[in-house]
């Protein structure tokens, strides 16, 4: 079985979703984030999503979350601090976005301690979860040590980090969290970000200008 995730990129902000097969049922998938178009893509490809895991609550990462929940009957996991962003999307008006998407009916907690970490299992896979606020208050990164990879949402990019000028953002918390939780990971750890290409922890530790 390939360790490479299936990647879907959708929406106006070219947001990445990542799908990996569960170990309990290789015909079902864990999905990280839900950009616009993901629900149609999953239907067209015959992908059965067992759980939808939200890295953070910004609209481009949750646009199809309600559609995925309705179509697959799967749990939708999100850190409690960001759950209000999935329950009330009137804030989209502030960004000049007047389209609306179906809301998630039931959200399940990712109970990571504030700025801490937690071992968590889904679909037979074990992850170490890191709460790293700064881009959004409830941003979480998911490290699967057995596969040598990290699903980090908008925390860390190839050559960059998440923006911190949005509501609830903090440059200090973001950079401190990356340095405390992510940079100590093995340098060969693959990083799958919410936008753009994959990278590795070692590469970003060596060349990312925000982490100097």
Rounded CA-CA distance 161/183 in Å is 13
pLDDT score of 26: 86
Domains delineated in the chain: 6-211 (3.60.15.10)
Rounded CA-CA distance 85/170 in Å is 18
The answer to pTM > 0.85 is: yes
Rounded CA-CA distance 45/52 in Å is 17
Helical residues (DSSP H) of the chain, grouped into ranges: 38-45, 59-62, 65-72, 84-87, 171-177, 201-207
pLDDT score of 2: 55
pLDDT tens, position by position, 110-138: 999 999 999 999 999 999 999 999 999 99
* Residue 63: both structure tokens together: 């646009």
Q: Which residues of the chain have pLDDT under 70?
A: 1-2
HEC profile for 46-91? CCEEEEEECCCCCHHHHCCHHHHHHHHCCCEEECHHHCHHHHCCHH
Rounded CA-CA distance 62/90 in Å is 14
User: Are 10 and 37 in contact, with CB atoms under 8 Å apart?
Assistant: yes
């Amino acid at each position: 079985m390939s360790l490479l995730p299936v990647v879907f990129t959708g929406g106006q902000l070219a947001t990445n979703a990542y799908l990996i097969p569960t170990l309990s049922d290789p015909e079902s998938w864990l999905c990280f984030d839900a950009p616009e178009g993901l629900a149609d893509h999953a239907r067209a490809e015959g992908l059965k999503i067992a759980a939808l895991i939200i890295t953070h609550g910004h609209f481009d990462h949750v646009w199809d979350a309600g559609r995925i929940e309705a179509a697959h009957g799967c749990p939708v996991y999100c850190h409690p601090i960001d759950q209000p962003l999935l329950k009330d999307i009137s804030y989209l008006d502030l960004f000049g976005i007047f389209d609306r998407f179906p809301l998630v009916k039931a959200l399940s907690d990712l109970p990571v301690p504030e700025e801490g970490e937690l071992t968590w299992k889904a679909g037979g896979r074990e992850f170490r979860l890191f709460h790293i606020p700064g881009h959004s208050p409830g941003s979480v990164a998911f490290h699967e040590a057995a596969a040598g990879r990290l699903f980090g949402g908008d925390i860390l990019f190839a050559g960059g980090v998440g923006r911190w000028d949005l509501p609830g953002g903090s440059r200090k918390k973001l950079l401190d969290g990356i340095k405390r939780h992510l940079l100590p990971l093995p340098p060969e750890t693959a990083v799958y970000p919410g936008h753009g290409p994959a990278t590795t922890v070692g590469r970003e530790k060596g060349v990312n200008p925000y982490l100097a």
